[in-house]
Structures are given as structure tokens and as C-alpha cells.
Amino acid sequence: MLLKKIILRDLFNQRKRKRNKTVYQTYQYIKRFVLYLQNEKYMFDLRYITPEIIKEYVEKIKRNDITKNYLFSVLKKVERFLHEVHIAGYDIDLSEYQKILSVSYAERKAEAEANKIPNIPKRIFNQVIRCALSDIEDESLRLQDRMIACLIVILSHTGMRKGELQRLEADKLRDITILNKKEKAYILEFFTYKTTSTKDGRWTKSIAFPETVIAYQKLEELSQERRKIGNTTFLFLNKFGKRYSKSSFDYLFDGFFYRHQNELFSSLSDYEKAQVHETKVGSFLMTSIGLNTPKTPIKGETIITLNPHQFRVAVANILKNKVNLQWIREHMNHLDEEMTKHYFR
């Protein structure tokens, strides 16, 4: 009943109404704690709750090898439940629980620094762009391989989030005249669910560098027939005119790096090895890679690849010494400059 009160308050409090997703997370965290009290401590009367019981619960969830940030979130929800217990009239001294239910900011920050997504070494980054530009024009490749190459070029210059990249639509390249109308510059509009308070997302934009324009226009050309089949404006589509799933995107993305293993990852220095990561070729990746590669993929073999989000880090660091912080923040669609600084390596 106390949990229901918390959830209803979150859903219907007009001043602090929260998103359904956020409320559901609160529900799940507190529900697990309630079930712990019932199923493991056989407790059905909250008068008997003690700091020792909370300590045991904290130790239990720590054994799941969770991050400090996740632990902080869970404990905040437990603290909220105890506050509700107090409001309900139970004799509980909340000050006794505060130390148990806290994770210091210093601990969380230190872990976040240690777990930051790595940058892409400049040599590899530049070679990725060269390989992708070559793939775009290579008519011997499958259509989807040329399309993913277009997306990689766009990603390398805009630092888009993966979800934004997958949702790119046609006719969203805008030109503006600059230098007393003697030159043109380009802006690429795209849809985002980030940096917005509305659950339905919003349109935003990024500067489109010359190679971004080349890749985007080629992607429009390559996807033209598929867009007609699907009667859609989305650009990254399968042969049925449907958007590729997240997993299909990942397989095609890794397929690009499989095709260019030798060009990108031969003779890696120790520093470069620390910035890339390995994955194994499974059945789905084998199918996605296809046979149009320098060598036939073998199930179980180890390949080197990059994470799409690394490109966001790389773009921030390439721009770091070329333009001011505010420019980078706007280009990468961050809410504040502190978030932009978080990407600097």
C-alpha cells in the first residue's frame, strides 16, 4: 500500500509529474526491496525494520557487481520508501539510515572516470573515414554495406548518438549562405529523444561538413528505391523498405570493421589496443557480413571493432582545440557545457 502511494503520487502530482518510464523504475526498485523484506526476512510488520536489515540488503545487492551509480539509484528509492514508512506513522528514525543508504559523489565520479568510453586514436579514426568513403563508391559491395559506410562518415563528423543516426530522414540537409552570400554552408536536421523534456522527442540540427554532405546525399540516392517500397522518409532501410533493427545496425556496423580489419587494426600499438575492443563472430554476424569480404568469416573467430559512441567522443576531442566549448556543445546537442567536458580525454 505504501508503494502504491508513492507511485500514484509520482503519476498524478501536477507540479512534479514524472515520466511513466521513471515511475516504473521507481516501482521496480522498491518492489524488489519489499519482496526482500517479505520473502527473505519474513517481515510483514514495518515496526520491526532496523538499520541492520537495511545493511544486509545493501550487501546483498552489492554482490551483483553493480556500478556505484546504479547502487546510488537503488538506495535512493529505498530511502524514499523508508520516508513513506515514517509518514505513515511508524516510529522510524531516518537519520539512522542515511549513512547506510548513501554513496558519495566522489566514489561515483571516480568510477565514472575509470569507465569512460575511450577515444579513437587519430590514425585509426582517419583511416576509418578513408575506408568508409571508399566503400560508399564501391559498386561491388552490397547496398546495405554502402549505406552503413555512409552512416559511418556522417557519424565521424557529427558525433550523433546511435539512435539519432538510425532515424535519419531524407530531405533534411539545409544550405545557408555565408561570407556575404559568396559561399554555402550546410546544416543537417535530425530527430532526437535526448536533451528534451518531451517524451515524443524533438528535431535538432548539426553542422554538416563537406564529407557529411557527400555521405548524406549518397545515402539518399542509395535508399531511394527502398523508401518507395516502404513509403517512408527514413534512410537506413532493408530491402522490404523497413527500418533496420538495433541489432541489425550493430551487425552491419561490425561488418564494416570486419571487411577492413587489416587496413584499420594491423600493427596496433599498446595505446591503440586499449582504445579498441574485441568481439567474436557469431551466427548472426556471419550472416550480416555475407560473403562479399576479403575472406569468408569463421564462426567463433575474434575480430577488432569500435563502439558507435566512441565516435561521439572522438568528434568532441577533435574539435576541442579548434573551436570554443559553446560551439562544441551546440554541435553535439548537449544541454550544458559540463556534459561536453565529460567527453574530453
How much of the chain is helix, strand and coil, in % rounded to 5?
Answer: 55, 10, 35
Phi then psi for residue 189, to 5 deg, are -90, 140
Q: Cell for 330?
A: 551546440
Confidence of residue 22 (pLDDT cuts 50, 70, 90): confident
What pLDDT is attached to residue 14?
A: 67
Share of the chain above pLDDT 90, in %: 64
CA distance 115 to 67: 10
pTM of the entire predicted model: 0.71
Residue 231 has pLDDT above 90, yes or no: yes
Of 68, 64, 67, which is closest to residue 32 (Cα–Cα)? 64
C-alpha dist (Å) from residue 176 to 163, 173, 185, 187, 273? 26, 10, 5, 8, 42
pLDDT for position 196:
63
- Give the pLDDT confidence score for residue 174 in this predicted structure: 95
Residue type at 210? Answer: P
Q: What is the DSSP-derived secondary structure letter of residue 223?
A: T
Question: Taking the CB of residue 65, how many other CB atoms lie within 10 A of it?
Answer: 5
pLDDT value of position 199: 64
How high is the pLDDT of residue 249?
95
Whole-number Å distance between alpha carbons of 170 and 19: 31
